[in-house]
Structure 1
Amino acid sequence: MTTFDKREEGFEKKFALDEEQKFKAEARRNRLLGLWAAEKLGISGDAANIYAKEVVAAEFGEGGDAAVVRKVTGDLSAKGMAITEAQVRKEMTELMAQAVAQVKAGK
C-alpha cells in the first residue's frame, strides 16, 4: 500500500466517522427537541420518552428536519399553543450544540 493509498484510506475513515457522529447528533437533537415539546405539552415520564421517539422517527418517516419541525409545530398548535416554525428551528439550533457535546462525550 502506497503512502497515497494510506492517506486516502485515512480520509475515508475520518469521513465515515464524521458522518456517523453527525447522524447521532441529529438524532440526539431531535430527541431533546421531543422532550422539550413534551414538557410544553404537559407530557412527562415514559409518555415524554415515547413522544421524543416519535419526533426522532418523523425525520426518517417523512424526510428531514422539515418533517420534525412540522410534527412539533403541529402538535403544539393542536394544543392551542402559538408557536412558529422559526421558534422551533431556533430551539433545534440551540439543542444541536448540546447534542454534539453529548455525542462527543460518549453519552
Structure 2
Amino acid sequence: MTASDDVQKTILRNKLLGRWAAERLGITGRDADAYSDALACDTTDPERCDVFTKIRRDFDAAGVVESDDRILQVMTELMLKAGNLMPTARGDSSDAATVAIARNLMSR
C-alpha cells in the first residue's frame, strides 16, 4: 500500500466515522452528509486532523454518552473496514463514490 492509499483509507475511515458520529448526535440527511464530509476533509488539514477530539467535543456538547475507548474502538474497526473497501472500491463497488470523494478531497 502506498502513502496515497493510506491517506485515502484514512479519509474513507473518517467519512464512515462521521456517519457513525452523526447518527449518535441525532444528525440526519444532508446535515449528516455534511458532518461526515467535514471529518473526511479534516484528514488533510494538519490543524484539524484530530477527528477523535472533534467527535469527543461534539459528543460532550450534545450530551452523548460514549466512552473514549468506544470511540477509539469504532475508529479502529472503521479503519479496518476502509482498508477492506479500498481494493473493492477500485473494482466498481457501491462504495466507489466514497473513494471518489476521498480522492477529490486529497486533490484540494
| Contact 1:37–1:72 under 8 Å retained in 2 | yes
Q: Which residue of 1 aligns with 2:31?
A: 47
Question: Contact 1:70–1:85 (CA<8 Å) still a contact in 2?
Answer: no
Q: How many positions carry a matched residue from both structures?
A: 89
Specify the structure having the higher radius of gyration (Cα): 1
Shift of 1:76: 1.0
Determine helix, strand or coil for the equivalent of 2:2: helix
Q: Distance in 1 between matches of 2:48 and 2:38?
A: 13
Greater relative contact order (Cα < 8 A, sep 6+): 2
In structure 1, C-alpha distance between the alignment counterparts of 2:67 and 2:41, rounded to whole Å: 21
Retained in 1: the 8 A contact 2:10–2:43?
no
Give the superposition deviation at 1:63.
Answer: 4.9
| From 72, 84, 88, the counterpart of 2:55 | 72
Q: Which runs of 5+ in 1 are unaligned?
A: 1-16
User: Residue 28 in 1 paired to residue 12 in 2?
Assistant: yes
CA RMSD of aligned residues (A): 1.6
Matched, 1:81 2:77: no
Which amino acid letter does the alignment assign opposite residue 39 of structure 2?
Answer: V
1: distance between equivalents of 2:4 and 2:25? 31
3-state secondary structure, aligned to 2:44:
helix
Q: Which is richer in helix?
A: 1
| Aligned-pair CA distance for 1:44 | 1.3
Alignment-mate amino acid for residue 93 of structure 1 = T
| Identity score, percent | 30
> What do the CA deviations read for 1:20-47 (whole angstroms, capped 9, x no partner)?
1111110000000000000111111111
TM-score by length of structure 1 reads 0.74
- Structure 2 unaligned regions, length at least 5: 90-95, 97-108
